[in-house]
């Protein structure tokens, strides 16, 4: 499917310290190891499937307080974290240390850190997705990927997956979050800088993407217990003079400044009518861009 068909909420893709509440879903037969009110650390097991001490653990993924325990369903945890939103993702929740691959090695033979969440700031080819899954990685945060190769990896129609995440095939063992979306773009430098500072830290990754409900995939980097959430909300309004980042189309990944926000819907490059703004990009060009394809950059 075309990335031009995706519609997302307005706003900055990175928030440095936000209060979050996330549900960690429990697999069938899981024994809960925590109770409401307990404090937990990101790498702490909160439930276990199998024999005590030798089963599969469900990790907290956040530093915070257990807010709710529903046996057989989920454990809800509240904490403070750095939140980075992606554009497209597949797979459920995954927890693991954020890692990078050794430089200079072919993706066909590079060692895959088992249980890690790979940070890959370039276009992720099918070979990398397949090797990461086969090597036991928990997930991958990549800049972009081909829609065709992402479908080949999931062995499912991408349009159907994004319309109905419950249809995600059970064999998709790797959670994938693309920060720039479909195509072949490198990671935005500010995104890579924010994530690269947290290498080896535990990360909670969620690939759920529901364009119709404005739900993006996300990367949560837990902050220590006691950290205060930022009180000042980021200015996400799209008004003349605002600096923005294009999230799709031919200008995807480019920065610019809004010159004018139209009162009425405008015809866009795809031929459809949408709420839009006139944007002067850093290369000097001026184009009409749908508001849903713009993020406030500063």
Instruction: Give the C-alpha separation, 150 to 253, whole Å.
Output: 20
Look at the block and give the residue holding tokens 């400044």.
257
Tokens of 140: 């991958």
Q: List CB contacts of 189: < 8 A, sequence separation 6 or more.
A: none
User: Pick the residue with more confidence: 104 or 73?
Assistant: 73
User: What's the chain's length in residues?
Assistant: 298
**What pLDDT score was predicted for residue 180?**
87
Is residue 10 over pLDDT 70? no
Is residue 132 over pLDDT 70? yes
By C-alpha distance, which of 124, 102, 35, 131 is closest to 75?
A: 35
Tokens of 156: 């499912």
Comparing 118-122, 153-157, 280-284, the range with the smallest average pLDDT is: 153-157
Tokens of 240: 């003349």
List phi, psi (to 5°) of 82: -80, 130
Is residue 134 over pLDDT 70? yes
Residue 105: band (very low, low, confident or very high) from pLDDT cuts 50, 70, 90 = confident
The structure's pTM equals: 0.78
**What pLDDT score was predicted for residue 9?**
45
List pLDDT tens digits, range 172-182: 789 999 998 88
Written as one string, the DSSP assignment of 189-252 is HHHHHHHHTTTTSEEEEE---BGGGTB--EEEEE--TTPPPP-SPP-----TT-EEEE-SSTTT
Contact 49, 56 (CB under 8 A): yes
3-state helix, strand, coil in the chain (%, to 5): 15, 40, 45
Instruction: Give the C-alpha separation, 215 to 269, whole Å.
Output: 24
**What pLDDT score was predicted for residue 80?**
95
Comparing 9-23, 41-55, 60-74, 275-289, the range with the smallest average pLDDT is: 9-23
Instruction: Give the C-alpha separation, 274 to 267, whole Å.
Output: 7
Which percentage of the chain shows pLDDT scores above 70?
Answer: 87
By C-alpha distance, which of 20, 49, 47 is closest to 34?
A: 47
**Partners of residue 70 on adjacent β-strands:** 74
User: Pick the residue with more confidence: 16 or 40?
Assistant: 40
List pLDDT tens digits, range 260-272: 999 998 887 767 7
Residue 166: band (very low, low, confident or very high) from pLDDT cuts 50, 70, 90 = low
Domain range list for the chain: 243-296
């Amino acid at each position: 499917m075309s990335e031009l068909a995706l519609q997302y909420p307005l706003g900055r893709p990175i928030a440095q310290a936000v209060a979050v509440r996330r549900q960690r879903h429990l697999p069938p037969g899981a024994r809960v190891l925590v109770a409401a009110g307990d404090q937990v650390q990101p790498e702490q097991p909160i439930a276990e499937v199998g024999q005590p001490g030798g089963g599969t653990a469900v990790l907290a993924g956040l530093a915070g307080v257990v807010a709710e325990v529903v046996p057989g369903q989920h454990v809800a945890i509240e904490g403070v974290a750095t939140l980075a939103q992606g554009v497209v993702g597949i797979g459920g929740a995954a927890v693991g240390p954020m890692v990078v691959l050794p430089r200079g090695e072919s993706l066909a033979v590079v060692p895959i850190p088992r249980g890690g969440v790979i940070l890959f700031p370039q276009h992720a080819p099918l070979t990398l997705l397949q090797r990461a899954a086969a090597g036991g990685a928990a997930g991958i945060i990549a800049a972009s990927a081909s829609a065709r190769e992402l479908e080949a990896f999931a062995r499912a129609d991408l349009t159907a997956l994004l319309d109905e995440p419950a249809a995600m095939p059970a064999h998709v063992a790797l959670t994938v979050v693309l920060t720039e979306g479909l195509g072949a773009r490198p990671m935005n430098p500010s995104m890579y800088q924010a994530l690269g500072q947290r290498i080896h830290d535990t990360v909670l990754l969620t690939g759920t993407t529901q364009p119709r409900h404005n739900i993006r995939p996300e990367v949560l980097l837990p902050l220590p217990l006691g950290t205060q959430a930022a009180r000042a909300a980021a200015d996400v309004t799209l008004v003349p003079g605002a600096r923005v980042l294009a999230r799709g189309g031919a200008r995807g990944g480019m920065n610019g400044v809004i010159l004018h926000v139209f009162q009425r819907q405008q015809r866009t490059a795809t031929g459809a009518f949408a709420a839009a703004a006139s944007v002067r990009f850093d290369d000097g060009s001026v184009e009409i861009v749908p508001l849903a394809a713009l993020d406030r950059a500063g």
